[in-house]
């Protein structure tokens, strides 16, 4: 999986173990909500065993990326269309690392955690290393 940073990985793994067997939609939103400690601190009281009361969340003082994570999580949970695909694909608006975090959430939503676990981040690696032998 591609996490925002190591802290995101540790927090998400802890939370997903606690919510084992949750839906793909729930897991994808949880992945995004755990991406930032400030966002998570504001979200965690709205996380139930099988549902996320995202409508009740009123996040404050988030950086731009954390707000995008919240908005995409809300779109996943509610079916709203707050974030446009063209905004996510615009490198001037969203750094590549964060695009990959959101892409990971979309992979979780569509195909589940097992598919996301097979996703690798290879930034800075020699592309010849990645070829199958």
Q: Is residue 48 part of a domain?
A: yes
Q: What average pLDDT is seen over the chain?
A: 87
Question: What pTM was computed for the model?
Answer: 0.86
Range of the domain at 107: 6-119
Q: Is residue 15 part of a domain?
A: yes
Q: Is residue 56 part of a domain?
A: yes
For 8-59, what is each residue's pLDDT tens digit?
A: 999 999 999 999 889 999 999 999 999 999 999 999 999 998 899 999 999 9
Give the span between the Cα atoms of 109 and 95, in whole angstroms. Answer: 21
Into how many domains does the chain fold?
Answer: 1
Q: Is residue 129 part of a domain?
A: no
Give me the long-range contacts of 104-108 (CB less than 8 A, separation at least 24). 104/1, 104/2, 104/3, 104/31, 105/28, 105/29, 105/31, 105/32, 105/72, 105/73, 105/76, 106/28, 108/24, 108/27, 108/28, 108/31
For 72-85, what is each residue's pLDDT tens digit?
A: 999 999 999 988 88
């Amino acid at each position: 999986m591609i996490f925002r940073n190591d802290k995101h990985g540790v927090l998400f793994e802890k939370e997903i173990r606690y919510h084992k067997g949750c839906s793909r939609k729930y897991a994808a939103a949880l992945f995004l909500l755990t991406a930032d400690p400030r966002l998570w601190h504001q979200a965690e009281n709205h996380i139930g065993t099988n549902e996320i009361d995202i409508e009740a969340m009123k996040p404050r003082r988030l950086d731009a990326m954390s707000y995008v994570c919240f908005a995409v999580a809300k779109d996943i949970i509610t079916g709203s269309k707050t974030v446009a695909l063209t905004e996510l694909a615009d490198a001037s608006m969203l750094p590549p690392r964060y695009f990959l975090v959101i892409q990971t959430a979309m992979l979780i939503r569509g195909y589940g955690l097992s598919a996301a676990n097979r996703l690798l981040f290879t930034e800075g690696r020699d592309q010849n290393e990645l070829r199958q032998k």
